[in-house]
Structure 1
Amino acid sequence: MRVVIAEDNVLLSSGLELLLNSRGFEVVTIAVDAAGFLTAVKTHRPDVTIVDVRLPPTFRDEGVRAAVQARRDHPGLPVLVLSQYVEHEYAGRLLADARGGIGYLLKDRVSRVAEFTDALRRVADGGTAMDPEVIAQLLTHGDPVDTLTPREREVLALMAEGHSNATIAQRLLITDNAVHKHIGNVFLKLGLSAADSGHRRVRAVLAYLRSRGGTALPQ
C-alpha cells in the first residue's frame, strides 16, 4: 500500500516512514509543503495520504487546504489528516465529501501503533477514521469566536479597540512575537485565509463584534 506523507517535522516524518515501512506500507515520498504534496499525489497516485494541517510557509492551514484540493483533483483520494489541531472549516469540507476515504486523528491522542495503522488501512479502503475529540469539536462548533482561547480573545478585543500589535503587547505584557502568533491563531480559527490580505484584521474584528451582539466599533 503506497503512501504519500505531507509533514514538515523531520523527526516525525522519518518516524512515520520507518513505522509504516515496517508494517507493510510503502512510503513513496515525503512532502514538506502543500505544493510538494500536490505534486507528489499527481506523480505517484498513492493508495493513501497522511497530511498535517499546518505546513510552510505560514503554518496555518496549508496542509488541510491542500488535502481538499487533492481530493478535488483526484476524486476519492484517501486522506488521513494527522495533526495537533482541529481546523474546522476545511475539516468540515473534507467530511462533507460523501465518497469516503477520510480520517482525522490528533497526534497527541494516538496511543497505539496498531490503532493508527488500522485507521490508515480503513481510510485507504474508503472508510473513515475520526478521533472522537475531532467529532466533538466539529459538532459543538458554532460561533468561531467561541473556539478562541482566553488570551486570543483578549488580543482580539484589543484589536477591536483599534490598538496596534505593539500596544497590545505592552498592555498584555507579552512580546510582539507572541501577539503575532495569537493573531495568526485568531485568523486561522475564524477561517480567514492569507488571501484576505489586509482585510483579515477588519473581518476578525467584525466577527468579534457580531459575537457580542455589537453593530459598531467601540468608541
Structure 2
Amino acid sequence: MRVPDNHKIRVFLADDNLIVREGVRALLATAPDIEVIGVAGSYQELVDGAEKAAPQVLVTDIRMPPSFQREGIEAAKEVRKRHPGTGIVVLSQYDEPDYAIALLSEGAAGYAYLLKDRVAEGDQLFRAIREVTTGGSMLDPRIVEALVRPASQGTDLSPDEEELLQMLAEGRPMKAIAVSRHTTPAAIDDAIEKLFLKLAQAASSGAAGALRRLKLLHQAIVDREEQGESLSRLLPTGIA
C-alpha cells in the first residue's frame, strides 16, 4: 500500500563508505513509510545537511571523516541539541558497549544502536526508525548482552536481578516491567532500589563490572524520570 509522501518518515543517512551508504539507502527504499531525504559522508556534511533537510530521523555510522573516531555520535548529539525531537539510529560494526554508553549518556529516549552485520536480517532497521520517531529506543541484543554481561569479578546478582537489569538496559517502561514480571509497579520500585544499593556496594569495593552496571542503571533511572516515572529518590548525591 502506498503511503502519502507527507506521512512518510523523513530520514537523513550518513556513512563515509559509499557502498554501505547506498546499500542502506536501497534497503530503506523498500519500506513504504520511509523516505531518505539526504545523505552525508562526514561530520560536517552530516550536521550541515541535517540542518537544511530537517529530518525526523538520522541514521549514521560512528567513524567518519575527519578523524574517524566518534564523529557519527558527536554529530548526532549536535543535531539532537539543535532539534531535540530528532530520532537517532546508529549503525555500527562495533559491539563494544563503550560506544553505546557514549551514545546513550544523555538518555536513551529516541536513540537506537544497531550492528551493521545484522541490519539486513528481517526488519530490524525499519523497526528502529519507527521506534525512535516516537521517542522510543532500541538496542541490538548483542549490545544489551555486552552491557549487562557479568564481569570476571562478578557482582553476585541473582537471575531475577540480572533480568531486571537487562529490562532497564533495554529501556522498558516501569509498567511494562511490572506486567512482564506479574507484579505491581510499586514492587518493581522496591526491587530496583535493592538492586541499586547492591550495585553501589559492589562498585564501592572496586568491582569494575558492578560499576558499569551502576552507571547503566543510573541512566535508566534518569530516563524514567524524564518519562514521568518518579524514581529520583533512588539517586544518591554525587552520582553524575
Q: Distance in 2 between matches of 1:36 and 1:141?
A: 40
* 2:28 alignment partner in structure 1: 20
How far residue 20 of structure 1 moved from its aligned partner, in angstroms, is: 1.3
Which letter does structure 2 place at the counterpart of 1:3?
V
Give a deviation string over 1:158-188, Cα, whole Å, max 9, x none.
Answer: xxxxxxxxxxxxxxxxxxxxxxxxxxxxxxx
Is contact 1:68–1:93 with CA below 8 Å preserved after alignment? no
Q: Distance in 1 between matches of 2:95 and 2:80?
A: 19
* 1:105 alignment partner in structure 2: 114
Q: Distance in 1 between matches of 2:30 and 2:119?
A: 18
Q: Distance in 2 between matches of 1:138 and 1:68?
A: 21
How far residue 114 of structure 1 moved from its aligned partner, in angstroms, is: 1.8
1:65 is the counterpart of 2:74: yes
Q: Distance in 2 between matches of 1:95 and 1:134?
A: 12
SS in 1 for 2:39: strand
* 2:60 alignment partner in structure 1: 51
Query: Normalising by the residue count of structure 1, what TM-score does the alignment of the two structures yield?
Result: 0.58
* 1:6 alignment partner in structure 2: 14
Which letter does structure 1 place at the counterpart of 2:38?
T
RMSD over aligned CA atoms reads 2.5
Q: 2:103 aligns with which of 94, 107, 129?
A: 94
Q: Distance in 2 between matches of 1:31 and 1:44?
A: 11
Q: Distance in 2 between matches of 1:34 and 1:27?
A: 18
Query: Normalising by the residue count of structure 2, what TM-score does the alignment of the two structures yield?
Result: 0.54
Q: Distance in 2 between matches of 1:137 and 1:62?
A: 22
How far residue 91 of structure 1 moved from its aligned partner, in angstroms, is: 3.0
Is contact 2:108–2:137 with CA below 8 Å preserved after alignment? no
Is contact 1:70–1:77 with CA below 8 Å preserved after alignment? yes
SS in 2 for 1:3: strand
Which runs of structure 2 are paired with 1:185-204 in the superposition (5 Å)?
none
In structure 2, the CA distance between the partners of 1:71 and 1:139, relative to structure 1 (3 Å rule), is farther
Q: Distance in 1 between matches of 2:127 and 2:21?
A: 18
In structure 2, the CA distance between the partners of 1:95 and 1:63, relative to structure 1 (3 Å rule), is same
SS in 2 for 1:134: helix
* 1:118 alignment partner in structure 2: 127
Give a deviation string over 1:67-91, Cα, whole Å, max 9, x none.
Answer: 1222222213200000101465553
Q: Give structure 2 stretches of 5+ with no counterpart.
A: 1-8, 152-207, 209-240
Is contact 1:53–1:63 with CA below 8 Å preserved after alignment? yes
Which runs of structure 2 are paired with 1:135-150 in the superposition (5 Å)?
135-139=144-148
1:84 is the counterpart of 2:101: no
Q: Distance in 2 between matches of 1:141 and 1:58?
A: 33
How far residue 136 of structure 1 moved from its aligned partner, in angstroms, is: 2.7
* 1:145 alignment partner in structure 2: none
